[in-house]
């Protein structure tokens, strides 16, 4: 009868380890799903920002074409009236300033895209470290809960007084 006891204990220990591994696997699957959701969200944000950049680039092209058109108009009107030259010069200066502001805005959006990419990477790293911490804690053993309710005796509350 004695040889059966160690085998039973060994089988129980193996089963407990298998249960723990199954729990770890489920936790890893949940964390991977959450990470994938975060990645998808980051990809959507990145795509939206790239669409904004493309749109702003188109606006910049239109403004540059408008700027070229103004230069052509300026050449025509220079022959006719010298006063128009000053007005168009101011207009060109304003458009160039708008173009510079627009370019600065595009750079700002690109910076935002990079910041969000870094944020996504940081969240990924944090999720990985949380997963590692969970695995470490589960490797140590069960963690007791401090907020478990105390057991109350059964019976009438008036009987307790």
- The secondary structure of 114-144 as a DSSP string is HHHHHHHHHHHHHHHHHHHHHHHHHHH-PPP
Of the candidate ranges 6-15, 22-31, 107-116, 149-158, the one whose mean pLDDT is the lowest: 149-158
Give which of 114, 63, 70 is closest to 91, Cα–Cα.
Answer: 70
Give the C-alpha separation, 84 to 88, whole Å.
6
Distances (CA, A) of 83 to 32, 79, 89, 137, 143: 69, 11, 10, 80, 84
Structure confidence by residue, pLDDT tens digits, 54-68: 999 899 888 888 777
35 touches 122 (CB < 8 A): no
CB 126: neighbour CB atoms within 10 A?
11
- The structure tokens listed for 131 are 């997963």
pLDDT level of residue 40 (50, 70, 90 thresholds): very high
* pTM, two decimal places: 0.32
Residue with tokens 């207009």: 91
Structure confidence by residue, pLDDT tens digits, 107-141: 988 888 898 989 999 999 999 999 999 898 988 76
In degrees rounded to 5, what are phi and psi of residue 2? -60, -40
Polymer length in residues for the chain: 161
Tell me what pLDDT residue 1 has: 44
């Amino acid at each position: 009868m004695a040889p059966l006891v160690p085998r039973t204990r060994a089988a129980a220990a193996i089963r407990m380890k298998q249960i723990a591994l199954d729990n770890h696997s489920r936790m890893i699957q949940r964390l991977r799903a959450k990470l994938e959701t975060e990645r998808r969200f980051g990809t959507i944000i990145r795509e939206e920002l790239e669409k904004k950049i493309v749109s702003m680039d188109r606006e910049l092209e239109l403004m540059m074409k408008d700027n070229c058109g103004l230069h052509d108009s300026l050449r025509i009107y220079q022959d006719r009236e010298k006063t128009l030259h000053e007005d168009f010069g101011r207009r060109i200066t304003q458009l160039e300033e708008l173009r510079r502001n627009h370019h600065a805005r595009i750079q700002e959006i690109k910076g935002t895209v990079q910041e969000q990419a870094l944020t996504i990477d940081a969240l990924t790293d944090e999720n990985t470290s949380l997963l590692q911490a969970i695995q470490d804690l589960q490797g140590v053993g069960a963690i007791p809960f401090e907020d478990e309710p105390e057991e109350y005796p059964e019976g009438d509350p008036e009987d307790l007084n």
